[in-house]
Chains A and B, each alone.
Chain A
Amino acid sequence: MNRAEFYKRVAGVIAPERLQSRRVVVIGVGSGGSRVAAELARLGVDLMLVERPGEVLEEHNIIRHLLGYRSLGKSKLFELKRHLQNLYPFVHLTLCALDVVEDAELFLSRLEKWRPDLLAVCTDNEQSKHAANQVALRLGIPQVGAGVYDGGIGGEVYRVRPGEACYGCIAAHLQLKRPAKQQPTYDYNGADPFRLQSTSALNLDIAQIALLQSRLALEVLLGEPQLTGLPVAANLLVFANRLVPGTFSRPFHCDFFSIARQMCCLDCGETSGNLEQEAERIVSGLKSVAQLSQPCS
C-alpha cells in the first residue's frame, strides 16, 4: 500500500496523521454503525467494534447494510473487520462481542483499558443508548449518536461532551421512553414490542444519517469545527430526508438545537451519583411521616 497515493484525494481537506492515534468505540455494527465504522476506518482511526454476541448478517439486513451476500449467515463483527481491512489495510481493529446493557460492567472495564477518545453510539434501542451514555459519563468520554425515524423520513444526530447535557438529558427533552429492563419472554402470538427494533427505511435514508454522524464524529476527534462549522452549543441536529406534512415542512433540511443539561436527569443529574443516599433519605422521610401519622395511645 502506498500511503501518499492513498491519501492524495483528501489532501488539503483533512490531515489523516491527526487521526492516526485516535480511538473510537463503535457500538452496534448494523446498517448505521457499519457505515460510521467505514468512514472512520478509511481515515485511519483505531476502532473497537462492539456488537451483541451471535449477531450474524441475515438476508433482510443486506438491502440496507454495508455487507452483502458474501457475508450472509456470518458474524457481522468478523465480516465487517474484513471489509474495513479491505478499505484500509493498516486499520487497527478490536472486536468486542458483548451486550452493553446486560454486560455493562464488562463493557466499562474494556473501555477503561482501551481508553477511547469517543463513543459512536449506533444502536437501535433506547436501553443500549442509555447504557452507553452511563459508561461514557463515568469515564468522561464524549459521544456522538444517531437514530433514524420510523419509515426513514429523517433522523437525528446528537453530540455529548463531558460536563454538558448527556444523552439522558436529550432523551428526556425529546420525550423518548426509557423501557425498563425486560426479562426474556416467549410470545408465540405476536411480536414483542421490545424486540421489534427495525422498521422499513431505505438504505439511503439510513446512510444519510450515518454520514452526518460520521462527519460529527470526525469533527470531535479533530477538535475543530472544520468539517461542519456547527456551533459549539449545538448538541442535536434533526435532518429531514423528505417532506412530511406536520413534521418536516422542507425536504433535505437540517435543524440545529441546543438542549440544556437537566438537573433531574437520571444519568447525569444531581441525584444520579448518590442514588443510594437519595433512596435512604426518601425512606427515612417516609418513616418519619408514618410515625407522625400513628394515633396517640
Chain B
Amino acid sequence: MTPSQRGPAKNIFLKQFSERKMHMMTECLEFEPIEMDRAEELKDIINRAGRESEAVMIEPAGRGITGSSPVDLISPEENTNALVRYRRHY
C-alpha cells in the first residue's frame, strides 16, 4: 500500500472513530470515583450475597448493583432463577 492509498483510509477510520466517540459520549456517563457511602453499600451487598448464597441484583441502565435476593430454582424472575443459565438436552 502506498502512502497516498493509506491516507484516505486513515481519514475514514478517524471519522468513524470520532462519530463513535460522540455517540458514546451521549450514551455513557463520565467516570467518577465512587463515594465512600456507596462503596460501603456495595461491600455489604456483595458480602451478604456471598454469605447467604444469594444473587446480586443489577440494574444495568440504572444504579448498577442494587441489592441481593435469594435464588430460587424456578423463580419467574430471570435474575434469581437458578436454572435459567442451563440449556436443556436429551
Identify the A interface with B (CB < 8 A).
28, 30-33, 122-124, 126, 146-150, 153, 155-156, 173-176, 197-199, 201, 206, 209-210, 236, 238, 245-247, 249, 255, 257, 259
Contacts and interface: CB of A to CB of B under 8 A. Distances in A.
Given A175-B81, A247-B82, A238 B74 contact: yes
Enumerate the 5 nearest inter-chain pairs by beta-carbon distance, A residue then B residue, closest first. Answer: A147-B88, A32-B90, A149-B86, A124-B90, A150-B86
Contacts, number: 66
B39 interface: no
Contacts of B87: 149-150, 199
B57 interface: no
A149 B88 contact: yes
A209 B86 CA distance: 15
Interface string B22-58: 0000000000000000000000000000000100000
B90 A122 contact: yes
Contacts of A150: 86-87, 89
Contacts of B73: 238, 247, 255, 257
Contact of B90 (A28, A173, A174, A176): A28
Give the dominant DSSP class at B's interface: loop
Nearest to A129: B88
Nearest to A240: B73
B84 to A, nearest CB: 5
A174 B81 contact: yes
A30 B90 contact: yes
Contacts of B81: 174-175
B90 A123 contact: yes
A175 B76 contact: yes
Residue from B53, B71, B73, B90 having most chain A Cβ neighbours under 10 A? B90
Nearest to B76: A173
Contacts of A201: 89
B88 A156 contact: yes
Interface in B65-90: 71, 73-74, 76, 78, 81-84, 86-90
22 contacts: A30-B90, A31-B90, A122-B90, A147-B89, A148-B90, A149-B83, A149-B87, A149-B88, A156-B88, A173-B74, A175-B76, A175-B78, A176-B88, A198-B89, A199-B89, A238-B73, A238-B74, A238-B83, A245-B53, A246-B71, A246-B82, A259-B74
Given A32-B90, A124-B90, A238-B73, A174 B83 contact: yes
A249 B73 CA distance: 11
Contacts of A249: 53
A146 B90 contact: yes
